[in-house]
A = this chain, B = another copy of it.
Amino acid sequence: MGEFDLIKRFFTRPTPRAVLGVGDDCALLQARAGMQLAISSDMLVSERHFFADVDPRTLGHKALAVNLSDLAACGATPLAFTLALALPQADPAWLEPFSQGLLALADQHGCELVGGDTTRGPLNICITVFGEVPAGQALLRHSAQVGDDIYVSGQLGQASWALQLLLLQRQGRLPSAAETQLAQIRARLESPSPRIALGLALRGVASAAADISDGLLGDLGHILERSGVGASVDADAVLALLPGAQTLPAADALRHVLAGGDDYELVFTAPAHRQAHVLQAAKQAATPVQRIGRIEALSGLRLHNRQGQLLQPTLHSFDHFAPAPQEAKP
């Protein structure tokens, strides 16, 4: 199969909203009056972000989901995306489920595939996604205020836990008792659900937001750093976000929820007087949210338990170029 047949067969679809889709030198989008375009780009590398033998359908889903999650964090409505794909070979048995997983999620969010590139090379998936948001209403990282509450959507840590179990399974060391657990949480790693509806509902409610891709500590840390503030976070509230945490060693559970990454939940802040609005937004988006702490003037992030004891986690969020010991993250 040639390059252009491949594009035609698997990646060319009607684009009723875009002015021009796949097949020309450029795609064309028409922005609506008063709207800003939100843009995000993510690159997924084989054996770093995913196992090479992962189900291509879930990989297609995840490749777009991690980008949509960035739009969610900004409160943007998905519009369109481009897909650049390096493939070791043009294998229809891989491309068909990959494109199906990708396009099913795209359809779910009305996000049109408008262009991209295909080439031969080590498996690499680079998606750039476009959304729209009314001018001035995007949720950003730099605007958390002292006294704001800090919230997290959904659950945390299951993706990291699933990865740990998958690594054991690949080494033939997964206890049979843990197989059910893996089956229950594996989808959290492989098929995350971007929180688009919550992001939209939080426009005008949240003061700052980010998606949790590298771990809560790191991504909340970006909000703190850019806002020039600090935070106090309730470790017990955070641990409650991981169902089954009590079956894990405490240090493992804390690591999964604070620094595991791959959660694709939202962490956001809102003034205390808007708590009812936050809960209303969560209800509207059918997405649970949990208050986990408060923004403080003192810089840095302080983690404490319900007894008020300060914990000293030596955890770091994921960094692709950190010296060690994160080599194992696929």
Contacts and interface: CB of A to CB of B under 8 A. Distances in A.
Q: Give 7 nearest A-B pairs by CB, closest first.
A: A45-B121, A31-B31, A126-B126, A25-B73, A43-B84, A26-B38, A128-B128
A39 B27 contact: yes
Given A19-B36, A25-B211, A45-B119, 17 more contacts: A3-B321, A24-B142, A26-B73, A27-B38, A27-B40, A28-B133, A29-B39, A30-B36, A31-B31, A39-B128, A40-B115, A43-B119, A43-B121, A46-B121, A118-B320, A122-B122, A122-B124
Most chain-B CB neighbours within 10 Å: which of A20, A33, A39?
A: A39
A253 B13 CA distance: 39
A308 B68 CA distance: 56
A182 to B, nearest CB: 26
A283 interface: no
Interface string A1-40: 1111010000000000001100111111111010111111
A48 interface: yes
Given A41-B82, A82-B39, A85-B43, A25 B121 contact: no
A119 B38 contact: no
A148 B74 CA distance: 47
A240 interface: no
A26 B128 contact: no
18 contacts: A25-B40, A25-B209, A25-B210, A26-B74, A27-B39, A28-B36, A28-B38, A28-B138, A31-B35, A39-B80, A41-B115, A43-B85, A43-B119, A44-B119, A45-B120, A90-B321, A118-B321, A120-B321
A140 interface: yes
A124 to B, nearest CB: 5
Interface in A53-86: 70-71, 73-74, 76, 80, 82-86
B26 A84 contact: no
A51 to B, nearest CB: 14
B84 A25 contact: no
A91 to B, nearest CB: 10
A236 interface: no
A202 B70 CA distance: 37
A98 interface: no
Contacts of A33: 33
Interface string A94-121: 0000000000000000000011111111
A151 interface: no
Interface in A116-156: 116-122, 124, 126, 128, 130-131, 133, 135, 138, 140-142
